[in-house]
Structure 1
């Protein structure tokens, strides 16, 4: 179950980077990518969540703070969002493989803790907003 959560987030991040023709203005080594990478890991449960998405961290700062939602609500929403996401992965003719590259292995019976559920929930909200996607139970 290593690298269980948000492998797809990495794929989405790669897609969002694109191959643009713009030149980089900041070549000092302190790129904004470092600031836009959030990683949480728990080796005893063998899971890892990595969110590599430009703009996610600054967007997250504008959202309701940790503790605003209860963990059970976040778990319920995440289960719903993951189910919808995984269904879209299985329909590449209908949904872009660039957005829905790989399934997310989220077990609702496993306690991932508040922080993981909070970040995963907010990532799904961000994903829907940024890529104009609508999931059942989403905020749009």
Structure 2
């Protein structure tokens, strides 16, 4: 009887360790799959897709919370940053064409909403920090 109790306790211990181990793996897979941020609005016919490893972690841990900056502030910053970014896309011999792949079609006359401006601004902050890039307007947090 004593041996059965020890065996049951050992099995329970092994089973509980297995549960902890599996949940940790699931969290890592989820974060790896969530490195793509997509925001779309069919009525305005725009879409923003950010495919950058570590961007979600950056947004969730380092970026200031939504609402910290006003939408006007973000729009003004994005207008300048997008122009600088697009200029770099047009000069592949001068700037790394692996970082600056495609132009960003950002029209300052369109109201994209707060979330798009927030994510776009923090994409530039992420680029400047992750790849040590300096843009025309300092990107601060």
TM normalised by structure 1 equals 0.75
Superposed structure 1 runs of 4+ greater than 2 Å apart:
30-33
Structure-2 residue corresponding to 1:43 = 42
Specify every segment of 5 or more residues in structure 2 that has no aligned partner in the other structure, as ranges: 1-24
Structure-2 residue corresponding to 1:57 = 56
Separation in 2, partners of 1:63, 1:84: 21
Structure-2 residue corresponding to 1:68 = 68
Separation in 2, partners of 1:131, 1:101: 14
Separation in 1, partners of 2:103, 2:139: 22
Q: Which has the larger radius of gyration?
A: 2
Alignment length (residue pairs): 115
In angstroms, what is the RMSD of aligned CA positions?
2.0
User: Which has the larger helix fraction?
Assistant: 2
Specify every segment of 5 or more residues in structure 1 that has no aligned partner in the other structure, as ranges: 1-25
Structure-1 residue corresponding to 2:112 = 112
Separation in 2, partners of 1:136, 1:40: 26
Separation in 1, partners of 2:91, 2:35: 29
User: Which structure would you say has the larger RCO, counting Cα contacts within 8 Å and 6 or more residues apart?
Assistant: 1
Matches within 5 A, 1:88-99: 88-99=88-99
Shift of the alpha carbon at 1:31? 5.4
Separation in 1, partners of 2:117, 2:139: 17
Separation in 2, partners of 1:120, 1:86: 14
Separation in 2, partners of 1:75, 1:139: 13
Shift of the alpha carbon at 1:117? 0.2
